[in-house]
Amino acid sequence: MIPLTADVNADIAPPKSPDVSVGELKKGPVFIIPVDQEIERGLQRFLERGFQEATNYGAVLIVLEIDTPGGLVDSAEQIGTMVRDSGIPTAAYIKGDAASAGSYIALNAGKIIMKPGSMIGSASLVDMNGQSVDDAKMISYWKAKMVGAAALNGRDPDIAAGMMDINAVVDKPELGISKSKGEIIALTSDEALKAGYADQITATPEAAITWLGYSTDDIFRVEHTGAEKMSQFLTNPIIMTILLFIGIAGVVIEMLVPGFGAPGIIGTLAFALYFFGNYVAGFAGAETLLLFIVGLVMLVLELFVPSFGILGLLGSVCLVAGVVRAAFSYTHALFSLGIAFAAAAVVIIIVAVVFKERGIWNRFILKDSLTKKQGFVPVEEKRNLIGGTGISITPLRPSGTAIVGGERIDVVTEGGFIDMNSAISVIKVEGGRIVVKEIKA
């Protein structure tokens, strides 16, 4: 962010007085809803709940207490529409930063009150890596959104454009603002008041409520539920990657080296936390969990049902699709999944080597030996008969009986027919199998 050049020594209008006297303050429930995290669908769902509760309680005012670095444009748009179309009067109290998409949300509120030292602006488009977006169409679209939000309450549209368009030039000496190309406008509370981007400066949201003409006798502060707080933690990209790693490693180890129990339970729990966090945040639906379960079942079946890899391929596709669709960003999900797969593969190989005697592959290897202790009597290999001659005493079709060296034995031919009382010779002995051929006269 490049701060704007502003005439901070210019005279600033004194704080405005409340429009009504204390005795005329409007009574009724006032809801304060914090906007204190990155703007994404999780925050959107939280605000939707807050607005619904305010409606149910018959609130006379909703105050958005803003301190956010910004976030997703589409979520900011949805939140801005909700604020703008609210049937209850809205106000934005900026207690910290209303940066990027946070400034757009604030501009959609009926009034903007700022805490001393707070900031609004710096709304240029950036990608997931924090790099500036050069897409002219997206920049034009977001610029129109910012300008439109500013115009709602008669705020100077050029300043809104300068908050997000690095190429815009804004020269407003009467407002103490001079922005050159290559800079982005970010206003302090005093600068915003002078520029008309703040209606008042107060030290507390309660003072802001009083200035707006509402009583502070009935204030409700909407708090994040335990599930929502846990969801914020679980949807952190690092935590998501760790959960995927534990889930993949645990489940695969349990399938390949069964009998432990713990890896399977821990892996399943990790996946459950992954989907729970994303479900509460509003990223995942029931269909994503179903996709994942179907994929897991197919992978298990692949171990026992010969499908030439079809079940394994379909299972992998379903599993990956479920994980990716459950996340707030496909890019982040694929990146996290790639890291988790690589790390899990290393752990799985190590476990498979260490516990190779317990691996599932042992089920497909015949290890039983036919020993005397188990009641099996080995057949004596009569290799001394090789080259010996005799007579077939039964037709050999191709097996039968012959007398060789005065001993009656069972023999087989190489595939041909030998009649009874024919002269034969032994050409091969393989264990208990004695192979003969006819001796031609």
Q: Assess whether 62 and 147 both reside in one domain.
A: yes
Parallel, antiparallel, or unpaired for β 407-413 and 433-438? parallel
Domain assignment present for residue 9? The answer is no
Task: Give the C-alpha separation, 395 to 438, whole Å.
Answer: 12
200 and 241 together in one domain: no
Whole-number pLDDT of residue 260: 58
Q: How confident is the model at residue 307, as a pLDDT?
A: 67
Lowest mean pLDDT across 95-99, 285-289, 337-341, 422-426: 285-289
Please compute the mean of the pLDDT values over residues 191-198 and round it to a whole number. 92
338-365 confidence digits (pLDDT tens): 888 888 888 878 877 777 665 554 554 4
- Residues 355, 380: one domain? no
Query: Which pLDDT value is given to residue 5?
Result: 31
Is pLDDT of 329 > 70? Answer: no
Is residue 195 scored above 60 in pLDDT?
yes
Same domain, 171 and 39: yes
Domain boundary residue, one of 342, 362, 382:
362
Asked if residue 280 is part of any domain, the answer here is yes
pLDDT, average across residues 308-318: 73
Residue 415: per-residue pLDDT: 80
How many whole angstroms separate alpha carbon 20 and alpha carbon 26? Answer: 9
In this structure, the answer to whether residues 115 and 257 fall within a common structural domain is no
Establish how many alpha carbons lie within 13 A of residue 243's alpha carbon, considering only the half-sphere containing its beta carbon. 23
Shared-domain flag, residues 287 and 407: no
CATH code: domain of residue 159: 3.90.226.10
Could you tell me which of 176, 149, 150, 164 has the C-alpha nearest to residue 1? 164
The residue among 17 and 236 whose pLDDT is bigger is 236
Whether residue 309 lies inside any domain: the answer is: yes
The confidence band for 219, taking pLDDT boundaries of 50, 70 and 90, is very high
CA pair distance 404, 388, nearest whole angstrom: 7
Higher-pLDDT residue of 401, 317:
401
**Which position has the higher pLDDT, 124 or 170?**
170
Is residue 201 located within the same domain as residue 56? Answer: yes
Q: What share of the chain is helix, strand, coil (3-state, %, to 5)?
A: 45, 20, 35
User: What pLDDT score does 303 carry?
Assistant: 64
pLDDT at 369: 56
Residue 90 predicted with pLDDT over 90: yes
66 with 166, same domain: the answer is yes
Give the global pTM: 0.64
Residues 36-85 pLDDT 10s: 888 887 888 889 999 999 999 999 999 999 999 888 888 899 999 999 99
Q: Give domain status of residue 384, yes or no.
A: yes
Does residue 192 sit in the same domain as residue 205?
yes
Please say whether the beta carbons of 68 and 35 come within 8 A: yes
Q: Within a domain: residue 147?
A: yes
Please identify, among 338, 362, 386, the residue that sits at the C-terminal boundary of a domain: 362
Strand arrangement, sheet containing 170-172:
5-6, 177-179, 170-172
pLDDT score of 8 = 29
Instruction: Give the count of domains, the chain.
Output: 3
Q: For tokens 């914020």, what's the residue? A: 232
Q: Provide the pLDDT for residue 188.
A: 92
71 lies in some domain: yes
- Other Cβ atoms less than 10 A from the Cβ of 222: the count is 18
Which one of 297, 330, 362 terminates a domain?
Answer: 362
Tokens of 388: 């010996």
3-state class (DSSP) for residue 1? coil
Q: Which domain holds residue 345?
A: 227-362
Contact, 124 vs 184, CB < 8 A?
yes
Q: Which residue has the higher pLDDT, 7 or 349?
A: 349
pLDDT cut 70: percent of the chain above it: 84
Query: Mean pLDDT across the chain, nearest whole number?
Result: 81
What is the distance between the alpha carbons of residues 32 and 65, in angstroms, rounded to a whole number? 7
Question: Are 55 and 126 contained in the same domain?
Answer: yes
pLDDT at 116 (0 to 100):
95
- Per-residue pLDDT, 2: 31
Angle at 223 between CA 96 and CA 67, to 5 degrees: 10
CA 315 to chain centre: 18
Same domain, 53 and 104: yes
Structural domain includes residue 418:
yes
Q: Which of 28-32, 111-115, 340-344 has the lowest mean pLDDT?
A: 340-344
